[in-house]
Amino acid sequence: MSTQSKEATVIQSGQGRKMNVLGHAVTLKLTEQETQGTYYVFELVTPPGHGIPPHVHKNEDEVIQVVEGEYEIQLGEQTYQAKAGAVIHFPRSIAHAFRNAGSKPGTTVWTVIPGANFEKFFEELGALPAGGPPDMARVAAIFSKYEIELLPLPVQ
């Protein structure tokens, strides 16, 4: 356990380390190092029609706020529509997914609690080859390594 104390921080719009994770533009706002793993905050810009498939976190809760755009949110067996200003809580052990349902890129701000190892998870996903559909076997293996279960997509 680190004895380093947390410092007050202001992260301006556009500031933070940037990476691409599965086709999403990610800007890291508060990293696990800055919060000693207590939480992790990032901004996510999602292209229209894109999202993250259903999955379950064993160890983390997530809270997201929709800043811009329209999202379809799956939380357990329910599906919700969420627009700018909406706040969504994805508790650990509950299946969830999201998709940008709008015609323009959407922006969300995420807080992951606890935040330990989430940056490493993103770095591994971000290292996958870009420019086409991801290798879902590799994606599933990375999810599994961080105790996140990737679930089958629903049959359409």
Amino acid at 93: S
Q: What are the extents of the domains in the chain?
A: 18-127+135-150
pLDDT computed for residue 156 by the predictor: 52
pLDDT in tens, the chain (156 residues): 444 557 888 999 889 999 999 999 999 999 999 999 999 999 999 999 999 999 999 999 999 999 999 999 999 999 999 999 999 999 999 999 999 999 999 999 999 999 999 999 999 999 999 888 889 999 999 999 999 999 987 655
Beta strands 51-57 and 96-100 are antiparallel
Taking the C-alpha atoms of residue 105 and residue 102, their distance in angstroms, rounded to an integer, is: 7
pLDDT value of residue 1? 44
CATH architecture of 18-127+135-150: Sandwich (2.60)
Burial of 72 (0-12, 13-18, 19+ CB in 10 A): middle
